[in-house]
């Protein structure tokens, strides 16, 4: 009787090529996703070494970080952005890589495109030169964010050198309260375990909350695993996973479908699998959560007060609070609710999917963005945009005062023209509130769920969406 294993161990074992001289594992990477920012240097290295792409049919590209969301026609106003676009196009053509270009109608943020196309599948390994690759773990894949030299390694060999991770099972059981979303679940987890609590671990998310989650909700949580320091995060595949994948362009068809589902099921963690750590969280303890500081772990429930340095639990904690509050220009010990915002951003690989816009549209219909607030809604992919437009969500959002944009990463990291100005405070559905993250060196970010962004947009302040929209 073989010993019980977690999904991580099963996928790792199935993809292990061999042990390298330094003890690391040469791991086969079944799916390689690439984008314009972290791939050009890797292709350059490949050319310098005189190598080819090992498995072009398992390599997929899209363009997301630098694309303007208010300009579709090339050349882009920013010549550097255009140069990156041209470089990716050239590299894909030369090496025979499928490129979901803007003309394809399938372009979007790489972590939205993979699942949408059915490329992301259970029991597989995925790598991409982007830390939010952990998103794909929602399907029961082991997905790694990697650096450019590793992008080169995967291009050249379809493998990379890695050390095995420990596995921490995070169970969230019970019923989430109304107005509490997947985003709140992951912000709560990061707040609880810390921004480096996951170092050395893959997170396995489980429990009744995850069992009941849709794929889009699971993706939101897995997406931010890296913000908790975990290299990967996953949910075991189940009927929800299979139902999502069935019929998608790259999903297996016909008899192959049944064989694939049987195989996918076999990768799920065994009931008696051993974990290196187990954390249990009660769903009712999770409130709509917002960040107050300069990393995603500096978060509080909407009704809590911003911490005061005097209540710090350690010297480090105190220094962290002082630095964060100075940057955020928030008064210590005061409620965060009521803090004036100037920008509202809906979008990103965390919360730029159909259900995110549906939820917001449901509540902002007939409401107006507060005077003086700039609100933008950026679908995560061209397909998400089309789905929203078919349902008229774009019109509802536009009537409320949101600018409806074209697909891309946009103001999550502001490599395109969508940037904060000066010390603007942004209510954002994205994933990072680092100093300067949204394109202004003094710009400020408060992370929250899409509906909380909508509440902030219509009130012009950080607000409790449950009160603003009578969610109950």
Partner 1 sequence: MSLAKITSVTGRAVNVPGNDIDTDRIIPARFMKCVTFDGLGEYLFNDVRRQLDGTEKPHPLNEARFKGATILLSGANFGCGSSREHAPQAIAKYGFKAVIAESYAEIFFGNSTTLGLPCASAAREDIARIAAAVEANPQLEVVIDVTNQEVRFGGQKVKATFRESARDALINGRWDAIGELLDGRDAVKVTAAKLPYLVA
Q: Residues 330 to 349: which contact partner 1 by CB under 8 A?
A: none
Both structure tokens of 86: 């041209």
Q: Residues 380 to 419: which contact partner 1 by CB under 8 A?
A: 413-415
- Look-up of token digits 């209510």: 427
Among 81, 281, 426, 448, binds partner 1 (CB under 8 A): 81
Residues in the chain: 472
Please tell me whether residue 186 binds partner 1 under the rule CB under 8 A. no
State which residue, 152 or 183, has the beta carbon closest to partner 1.
152
The verdict on whether omega for the bond into residue 75 sits within 30 degrees of 0, i.e. cis, is yes
Q: At what angle do helices 110-117 and 215-223 cross, to 10 degrees?
A: 150
3-state secondary structure of 62: strand
Q: Residues 357 to 376: which contact partner 1 by CB under 8 A?
A: none
Please tell me whether residue 57 binds partner 1 under the rule CB under 8 A. yes
Asked if 459 and 364 touch (Cβ cutoff 8 Å), the reply is: no
CA–CA gap between residue 292 and residue 337 (Å, rounded): 11
For residue 445, the cross-strand partners are 426
Please tell me whether residue 263 binds partner 1 under the rule CB under 8 A. yes
CA–CA gap between residue 220 and residue 437 (Å, rounded): 19
State which residue, 5 or 231, has the beta carbon closest to partner 1.
231
Please tell me whether residue 159 binds partner 1 under the rule CB under 8 A. yes
Which span (269-277, 339-347, 357-365, 432-440) binds partner 1, by CB under 8 A? 432-440
Query: Which runs of consecutive H residues, i.e. helices, occur in 280-407?
Result: 315-328, 348-351, 354-364, 382-390, 393-400
State which residue, 259 or 278, has the beta carbon closest to partner 1.
259
Please tell me whether residue 464 binds partner 1 under the rule CB under 8 A. no
State which residue, 148 or 214, has the beta carbon closest to partner 1.
148
Least Cβ distance, residue 168 to partner 1 (angstroms): 14
Task: Show the binding pattern over residues 216-245: x = contacts partner 1 (CB under 8 A), - = does not.
Answer: ----------xx-x-x--------------
Give Cβ neighbours of residue 40 (< 8 Å, ≥ 6 apart): 84, 87, 88, 91
Please tell me whether residue 174 binds partner 1 under the rule CB under 8 A. no
Q: At what angle do helices 182-193 and 215-223 cross, to 10 degrees?
A: 30
Question: Which residue from 246, 242, 276 is spatially nearest to 262, judged by alpha carbons?
Answer: 242
Q: Residues 305 to 334: which contact partner 1 by CB under 8 A?
A: 316, 319-320, 323
Which span (155-163, 265-273, 344-352, 386-394) binds partner 1, by CB under 8 A? 155-163
Among 70, 71, 147, 386, binds partner 1 (CB under 8 A): 147
Please tell me whether residue 148 binds partner 1 under the rule CB under 8 A. yes
């Amino acid at each position: 009787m073989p010993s019980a294993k977690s999904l991580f161990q099963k996928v790792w074992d199935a993809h292990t090529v061999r042990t390298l001289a330094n003890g690391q594992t040469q791991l086969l990477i079944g799916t390689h996703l690439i984008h314009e920012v972290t791939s050009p240097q890797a292709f350059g290295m490949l050319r310098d070494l005189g190598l080819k792409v090992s498995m072009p049919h398992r390599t997929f590209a899209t363009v997301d970080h630098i694309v303007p969301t208010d300009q579709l026609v090339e050349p882009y106003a920013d010549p550097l952005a255009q140069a990156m676009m041209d470089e990716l196009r050239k590299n894909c053509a030369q090496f025979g890589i499928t490129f979901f270009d803007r003309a394809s109608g399938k372009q979007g943020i790489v972590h939205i495109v993979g699942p949408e196309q059915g490329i992301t599948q259970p029991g597989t390994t995925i790598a991409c030169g982007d830390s939010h690759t952990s998103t794909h773990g929602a399907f029961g894949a082991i997905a790694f964010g990697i650096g450019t030299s590793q992008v080169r390694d995967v291009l050249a060999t379809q493998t990379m050198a890695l050390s095995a991770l420990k596995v921490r099972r995070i169970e969230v059981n019970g019923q989430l309260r109304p107005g509490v979303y997947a985003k709140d679940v992951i912000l709560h987890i990061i707040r609880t375990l810390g921004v480096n609590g996951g170092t050395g671990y893959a997170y396995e998310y489980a429990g009744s909350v995850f069992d009941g989650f849709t794929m889009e909700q699971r993706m939101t949580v897995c997406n931010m695993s890296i913000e908790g320091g975990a290299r990967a995060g996953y949910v075991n595949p189940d009927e929800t996973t299979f139902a999502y994948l069935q019929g998608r362009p790259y999903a297996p068809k016909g008899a192959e479908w049944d064989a694939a589902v049987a195989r996918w099921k076999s990768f799920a963690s065994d009931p008696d699998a051993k974990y290196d750590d187990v954390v249990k969280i009660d769903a009712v303890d999770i409130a709509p959560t917002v960040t107050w500081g300069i990393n995603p772990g500096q978060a509080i429930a909407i009704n809590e007060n911003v911490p005061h340095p005097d209540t710090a639990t350690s010297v480090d904690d105190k220094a962290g609070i002082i630095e964060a509050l100075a940057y955020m220009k928030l008064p210590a010990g005061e409620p965060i609710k009521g803090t004036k915002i100037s920008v509202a951003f809906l979008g990103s690989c965390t919360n730029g999917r159909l259900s995110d816009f549906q939820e917001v549209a449901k509540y902002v219909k007939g409401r107006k963005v507060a005077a003086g607030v700039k609100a933008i809604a950026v679908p995560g992919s061209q397909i998400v945009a089309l789905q929203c437009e078919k349902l008229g969500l774009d019109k509802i959002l536009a009537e409320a005062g949101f600018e409806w944009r074209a697909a891309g990463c946009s103001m999550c990291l502001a490599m395109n023209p969508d940037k904060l100005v000066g010390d603007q405070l942004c209510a954002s559905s994205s994933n990072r509130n680092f100093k300067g993250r949204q394109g202004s060196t003094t710009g400020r970010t408060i992370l929250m769920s899409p509906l909380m962004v909508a509440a902030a947009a219509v009130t012009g302040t950080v607000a409790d969406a449950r009160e603003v929209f009578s969610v109950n």
